[in-house]
Structure 1
Amino acid sequence: MNAKVAATAPLPLAITMGDPAGIGPEIVVKAFRDAPALTAGAFVAGDLECLRKAAAAVARPGEPALPVALIERPDQALRMPARCVPVLQAVSPPEGVRHGQISAAAGRAAGEAVQWAARAALGAQVAGLVTAPLHKEALSAAGFTYPGHTELLQAEAARHAGVPLARMPVRMMLANAELRTVLVSIHMSLRHAIEAVTFDGVLETLRIAHASLQGVLGRAPRLAVAGLNPHAGEGGLFGSEEREVIAPAVAAARAEGIDADGPHAPDTVFMRARKGEFDAVIAMYHDQGLIPVKYLGVEEGVNVTLGLPLVRTSPDHGTAFDLAGTGRADASSLIEAIRMARLLLRGA
């Protein structure tokens, strides 16, 4: 999200189809149907037949399915009519995929669509990408070694830049209209997440959050830092990480001109941010940061990857295998992710 997007000619927005055994293709079609202004100039990186099946699944009674058109190049999406779904065949057609079932074929199609879109964004063929949900088990079954989108995109960006993975630090931000939270660690066990609370990790998170949100807000963001332990350690009674690791990192960030404050008690800091005292909360691990945002409603939450040289957003829910193929999946979070991507591109 840090790179400046070229302001010469408009570039299309890529939306990856997600795991074809899940709700991804259906919510993508619904986004084109229900938010034509937001999806204008966007296209789907995925499989044509999967999107046509999804269009049939979400068609309203008495109405024809939304047209799904094959395009050969990303720029053709800029000339497509509203409420038509342009699809670029970015993957080999997945075979034997069944709704609600984990499979290597589905995981491969989902992963390859993300890889294609990431490389297109890094190569300035598209303005950015919005990713529909993939399934981590299916991704693993297909041979991908990344636990999710964030790590896969980080690897693609590092490869493109010709730098080691450690030189391409990224962070996950979950955001809705009421709260933003940025995570120090992402997909790992709680035991390993605690070990990941280091001075360098917290300071790097503050730097990434500050740089990324400054572009969005047009000013320096006010960042609250959550503690790791109950009551933020209670002066060392319930743990020493706050005193020995987190507070020194906050002090170092402040010395660099970052408006950081904390560590604060994790059970109250999110409420304070929601009331407007802070622009974002730096959370120490995955569930600490995601539970408050998702409690406010997954239909409005957006996942943003910070630190990448490209814009990437996604809905904050999963593949919902139980709803796949029914046409009942809610596209609200995906629509908000597209809206967020447009906002970030304007501020890039």
Structure 2
Amino acid sequence: MTSTLAVSSGEPSGIGPDIAISAWTLREKHQIPAFFVLADPEFLAARAIRLGQNCPIEITTPEEAGHVFERALPVVPLKNRQTDHPGVPLAGNAPATIEAIEQAVALTLAGRARAVVTCPIAKKALYEAGFDFPGHTEFLAHLAGQRLGHKVTPVMMLAGPLLRAVPVTIHIPLSKVPAALDIANILSVARITSAALKDQFGIANPRLAIAGLNPHAGEGGSMGDEDENIVRPAVETLQAEGIDARGPLPADTMFHAAARATYDTAICMYHDQALIPVKTLGFDDSVNVTLGLPFVRTSPDHGTAFDIAATGKAKPDSLIAALRLADKMAMHNVHKQRPAA
């Protein structure tokens, strides 16, 4: 397998190209693992000039990218072109954005890249071009399912320097969370998380802290019955399966330093219950990780930031963290069986 990571360039009008260029310029200072970018080489070169970055671009193959990395930013070219129009998402760029993701996945599954690292995308521009998925994660699961021949269930993890957290429900209104929670959902997320901690993080016996939904984890049912009727039975099932899971735990006492030392990942019931502590503890260097895929995928934990695209203000910290984490995860993932290319 090649030693490089595949980076999809993301939304061309956002900061994805900026942070990819900046990460390459900082490769020696921060000991960044070798990567190549799937992009339109002319577009990326134009963005580097806009940014005033000394970043030579060299067209290459995934196999040669590691050799190129020391002297230039390796770019594996796309068939579709990208238009450099900072701050204004264009539906015409959508085919290239989609192609970059598809190629990153295909190359990684074929063993020509070690892992997939995705730069942020603009969903609205993709929707206008006919993109039929809610976002990155669902599209990646679809691509993986096509290769494997069965449905893939993706799980979102936010991994920071001091905390890993996984939400059971994600982008739904808070008012709909209780109805969306059930024992099966909690079990599925916890099982996938436990397996990934073993296979991709190298943790032999993962410890899961399962948060309650309600204040004080329901206070014995006096503050809602979901914790006793849904969360607790799920935890008991996980324990019976040999998974080291504890809960339901009051979320307000789960995230201080002493509590975090007792588990490897927090399983949370809704989006903000997971993301607020992760981002508070590591705002600039937290990473979005998709678990449950037959390959490693990480991404910066931020959006396209159209307002600062091509201004030089975008910080590459989260992308650098995503590259480093993908590299580490791929080391543990190397022995997992891969589907045929």
Q: Shared fold (TM-score greater than 0.5)?
A: yes
Question: In structure 1, what is the Cα distance between the partners aligned to 2:261 and 2:118?
Answer: 29
Cα distance change on mapping 1:192 and 1:90 into 2, 3 Å = farther
Point out the more displaced range, 152-161 or 186-195.
186-195
Q: Which of 8, 31, 35 is the matching residue for 2:27?
A: 35
Q: Could you tell me whether the CA contact under 8 Å between 2:114 and 2:327 is conserved in 1?
A: no
Output one character per residue of 1:181-205: Cα deviation in whole Å (capped at 9) or x when no partner: 0121233333444333111110111
Q: Could you tell me whether the CA contact under 8 Å between 1:12 and 1:78 is conserved in 2?
A: yes
Superposed, 1:47-86 pairs within 5 Å as 47-59=40-52, 65-71=54-60, 73-86=61-74
Query: Partner residue of 1:238?
Result: 223
- Segments of 4+ moved more than 6 angstroms: none
Amino acid at match of 1:174: L
**What are the ranges of 5 or more consecutive residues in structure 2 without an aligned counterpart?**
334-341
Q: Which of 210, 233, 252 is the matching residue for 1:225?
A: 210
Query: Partner residue of 2:139?
Result: 152
Question: In structure 1, what is the Cα distance between the partners aligned to 2:316 and 2:96?
Answer: 21
Secondary structure at the residue paired with 1:270? coil
Question: In structure 1, what is the Cα distance between the partners aligned to 2:259 and 2:157?
Answer: 15
2:295 aligned with 1:306, yes or no? Answer: no
Query: Partner residue of 1:266?
Result: 251
Query: Partner residue of 1:3?
Result: none
Superposed, 1:1-348 pairs within 5 Å as 9-36=1-28, 38-39=31-32, 41-59=34-52, 65-71=54-60, 73-95=61-83, 98-163=85-150, 165=151, 168-215=152-199, 216-271=201-256, 275-348=260-333
Output one character per residue of 1:99-149: Cα deviation in whole Å (capped at 9) or x when no partner: 112331234432221122112222222221111111222222221122221
Output one character per residue of 1:145-173: Cα deviation in whole Å (capped at 9) or x when no partner: 2222111101111111111x3xx112011
Question: In structure 2, what is the Cα distance between the partners aligned to 1:141 and 1:313?
Answer: 26
Question: In structure 1, what is the Cα distance between the partners aligned to 2:234 and 2:43?
Answer: 47
Secondary structure at the residue paired with 2:312? coil
Q: What fraction of aligned residue pairs are identical, expressed as a percent?
A: 42
Point out the more displaced range, 217-226 or 25-34.
217-226
Amino acid at match of 1:203: L
Amino acid at match of 2:4: P
Query: Cα distance, 1:177 vs. partner?
Result: 1.1
Amino acid at match of 1:31: A
Name the count of aligned residue pairs. 331
Secondary structure at the residue paired with 1:182? strand
TM (normalized to structure 1)? 0.89
Question: In structure 1, what is the Cα distance between the partners aligned to 2:258 and 2:295?
Answer: 27
Superposed CA RMSD in Å reads 1.9
Amino acid at match of 1:34: L
**What are the ranges of 5 or more consecutive residues in structure 1 without an aligned counterpart?**
1-8
